Amino acid sequence: MQKIEAIIRPDKLSVVKAALEDLAHGGMTLTEVRGHGVQRGVTEQWRGRTFAVEYLTKIKVEMVVKDADVDLVIQRIVEAARTGEVGDGKIFVSNVARAIRIRTGEQDDSAL
């Protein structure tokens, strides 16, 4: 099993989700994060003084999927989340040793 962590634009979440809907994936977990990369922040002001907000809100989508599904999921996410502008985000893939479904105690692939 692999964990796919995609850091995407908040407003792309619904598109990404739709793109993954038909896959038989078991679930996903979302976290609100703040990111900093090539993309720089916006300028805001407070009582006449401007300042840079250097971290922008992003959504981290985490999905643990079967090894066989990794490529397809990545491809779908890339297609759905891309705008071509800086700030589109990144995908990181790492190995997962075990998975357990708390409700049933099922393990690994059948737990996803």
Partner 1 sequence: MKKARSLSLAALIGGGLALLTVGVASAQTPDEIQASLDDLTAALDTMWLIVAATLVLFMQAGFALVEAGFVRSKNVTNILMKNVLDACFGAMVYFAVGFGLAYGAAEAATGFYGSGSFFMSGNTDYATFFFQFVFAATAATIVSGAMAERTKFSAYIVYTVFITGLIYPIVTHWIWDGNGFLTAFRDDPMNGVGVVDFAGSTVVHSVGGWAALVGAIMVGARKGRFVNGQVNAFPGHSLPLGVLGVFILWVGWYGFNAGSTLGMSGGLAEIAARVAVTTTLAAGAGGATAMLLSWIQHGKSDLSLTLNGILGGLVAITAGTATLEPWAAIVAGVVAGFIIVYGVALLDTLKIDDPVGAVPVHLLNGIWGTLAVGLLSSEALMDNAYGVTSTWGILLGGGTDLFVTQLVGIAATAVWVVLASGILFGIIKATIGLRVSEAEEDAGLDVYEHGMEAYPEFTGGRDPFATLSGTGR
- Residue 21 sits in the site that holds a second copy (CB under 8 A): no
CB of 4 to ligand ADP, least distance (A): 8
Cα separation, 21 vs 17, in Å, equals 6
- Residue 59 sits in the site that holds partner 1 (CB under 8 A): yes
**How many C-beta neighbours within 10 Å does residue 44 have?**
10
Residues in CB range of 70: below 8 A, 6 or more apart? 2, 4, 93
> Looking at beta carbons only, is 38 or 47 nearer to a second copy?
38
> Per-residue contact track with a second copy, 72 to 111, x per CB under 8 A?
--x--xx--xxxxxxxxxxxxxxxxxxxxxxx-x-----x
